[in-house]
Amino acid sequence: MPVSEDGGPVVGEDGLARCPWGLSTPDYVAYHDHEWGRPVHGDDALFERVCLEAFQSGLSWITILRRRETFRAAFKGFEIDAVASFTDVDRERLLADPGIIRNRAKVDASIANAVAARALRDEGGLDALVWSFAPDPATRPAPRTVAEVPAITPESKALAKALKSHGFRFVGPTTAHALMQACGLVNDHLAGCFAR
């Protein structure tokens, strides 16, 4: 990963300053520049991110990013109703799919999370729940270095607790914070990063 001397943004060959991780591979450049930290709304879109963040647990994000289209195909576009209706046949199909992460606990969690997300519709939906934990941006100064970017925050702890109370799995505080970063609830692009 490119690193500046002070841990701050790094200027790429295109002259743009980015968070250091955003320059490590072409896949990361595209993800950093066009997706990470941008607001994501919609129950199905947020359900996809919850699932992918859970699959990422213990792995590098690039592993998931490079398999994202295969995940989307395997999980029927992450349509909540479709995944909530998965049967044991679907579960075995997923566990045999070499294009995704074949972890039984994570596959089972994704199906259970779809059921939980579907049940949330009576309470406003997954979008409303997740976004209710977005902190006031004025209370979060821009991090200057990678070392200043938190892995867990009070809001991510609260979001994880709320998701678990609704039956979600694989949604601890670190995973919840990664979700908040990826979906734009918090802006953890470094000060000086062009994407901030």
SS3 103: coil
What single-letter amino acid sits at 37?
A: G
What residues are annotated to the active site?
A: 31, 53, 61
Q: Which residue has the tokens 């997300």?
A: 117
β pairing state of 17-18 and 10-11: antiparallel
Distance from C-alpha of 168 to C-alpha of 125, rounded to nearest angstrom: 13
Distance from C-alpha of 91 to C-alpha of 7, rounded to nearest angstrom: 43
